[in-house]
Amino acid sequence: MKLLLRRVGYFFLFLLFWQVAVMVLGIKEFIIPSPLKTLSHIFQPTLAAKYQWPLHIQATLMEILLSFLITAISGNLVALLISWSRALKTLITPIIVFFNSLPKIALAPLFLLWFGYGLLPNTLIAVLVAFFPIVINTSTGLEQVDEDLLNLVRYLGATKGQIYVKIKIPNALPYIFSGFKISATMCVVGSIVGEFIASDKGLGYLLKDAQAFIDTPTMFACLLLISLLGILFFGALSLLEARVLYWMPQTTGGGKG
Amino acid sequence: MHGNTPLLSIRELKKVYKTREGELEALGSVTFDIYPQEFVSIVGPSGCGKTTLLKIIAGLLPKTSGEIFVDKKQFDPSREVGFVFQKPLLLPWRKVIDNVLLPIEILKLDKRNYIEKARALLELVGLSGFENNYPNELSGGMQQRVSIARALIHDPKLILMDEPFGALDALTRERMNLELLRIWSESQKTILFVTHGIQEAIFLSDRVIILSARPSRMIKALDIELPRPRTMEVRSSAEFGVYSLEVYRCLELT
CATH of the domain at A153: 1.10.3720.10
Q: A27 and A39: one domain?
A: no
* Number of other CB atoms surrounding residue A55 within 10 Å: 11
Percentage above 90 pLDDT, chain B = 73
Q: Is residue B3 part of a domain?
A: no
* SS3 state at B30: strand
Largest CA distance in chain B: 55
Q: A151 and A173 in one domain?
A: yes
Instruction: Give chain B's domain count.
Output: 1
- A252 lies in some domain: no
Q: What distance in Å separates the CA atoms of residue A187 and residue A126, rounded to the nearest whole number?
A: 5
Chain A residues close to B107, C-beta within 8 Å? 156-157
Question: By three-state DSSP, how is residue A250 classified?
Answer: coil
d(CA A61, CA A81): 30
Paired residues of B24 in beta bridges: B17
Q: Residue A250 domain-assigned? A: no
The partner residue sitting opposite A154, judged by closest CB among B60, B93, B107, is B60
Please judge whether B105 and A249 are an interchain contact, meaning their C-beta atoms are less than 8 angstroms apart: no
Among chain A residues, CA nearest to B84: A152
Say if residue A5 is in the same domain as residue A91.
no
Contact B45, B248 (CB under 8 A): no
Q: What is the pLDDT of residues A51-93, one digit of tens each?
A: 788 889 999 999 999 999 999 999 999 999 999 999 999 999 9
Q: How far apart, in whole angstroms, are the C-alpha atoms of residue B149 and residue B157?
A: 14
Q: Are A158 and B81 a contacting pair at CB < 8 A? A: no
State residue A29's pLDDT score: 86
Predicted confidence at residue A255, as pLDDT, reads: 40
CA–CA gap between residue A124 and residue A105 (Å, rounded): 11
* Domain shared by A69 and A26, yes or no: no
State yes or no: pLDDT of B176 exceeds 60. yes
CA distance B198 to A175: 42
Q: Is residue B73 part of a domain?
A: yes
Q: How far apart are CA B57 and CA B169, in angstroms?
A: 29
Does A251 fall in a domain?
Answer: no
Would you call B83 an interface residue with chain A, using a CB distance cutoff of 8 Å? Answer: yes
Mapping DSSP to helix (H, G, I), strand (E, B) and coil, where does residue A158 land? coil
Are residues A152 and B58, on separate chains, in Cβ contact within 8 Å? no
- Chain B window 32-61: which residues touch A at a Cβ cutoff of 8 Å? 55, 58-60
CATH code assigned at B89? 3.40.50.300
Smallest CA-to-CA distance from B251 within B210, B218, B217 is with B210
| Residue B107 touches chain A, beta carbons under 8 Å | yes
The span from the CA of A164 to the CA of A166, in Å, is 6
Structural domain span for residue A59:
34-244
Average pLDDT value over all residues in chain B: 91
Within-domain flag for B1: no
Q: Are A68 and A75 within 8 A, CB to CB?
A: no
Task: Name the minimum distance, in Å, from the CA of A71 to any CA of chain B.
Answer: 26
Give A39 to chain B, closest Cα distance, Å: 45
Closest to B216 in 3D by CA, of B67, B48, B35 = B48
Residue B74 contacts by C-beta under 8 Å, 6 or more apart in sequence? none
- Among B78, B134, B136, beta carbon nearest to A156: B78
The answer, for A85 touching chain B at a CB cutoff of 8 Å, is no
**Same domain, yes or no: A92 and A152:** yes
Query: What's the number of domains chain A is made of?
Result: 2
Closest C-alpha to B164, from B155, B152, A99, B154:
B152
What DSSP line would sit under A177-238, residue for residue?
HHHHHHHHHHHHHHHHHHHHHS-SSSHHHHHHHHHHTT-HHHHHHHHHHHHHHHHHHHHHHH
Interface confidence (ipTM) of the complex = 0.89
B98-127 confidence digits (pLDDT tens)? 999 999 999 999 999 999 999 999 999 999
Domain check: are A113 and A169 in the same one?
yes
B224 vs B20, higher pLDDT: B224
Other residues' Cβ atoms within 10 Å of the Cβ of residue B5: 12
Shortest CA gap A178–chain B (Å)? 17
Q: Is residue B2 part of a domain?
A: no
Ranges of chain A whose pLDDT falls below 70: 44-50, 250-257
**Does A244 lie at the interface with B, CB-CB under 8 angstroms?**
no
pLDDT score at A252: 44
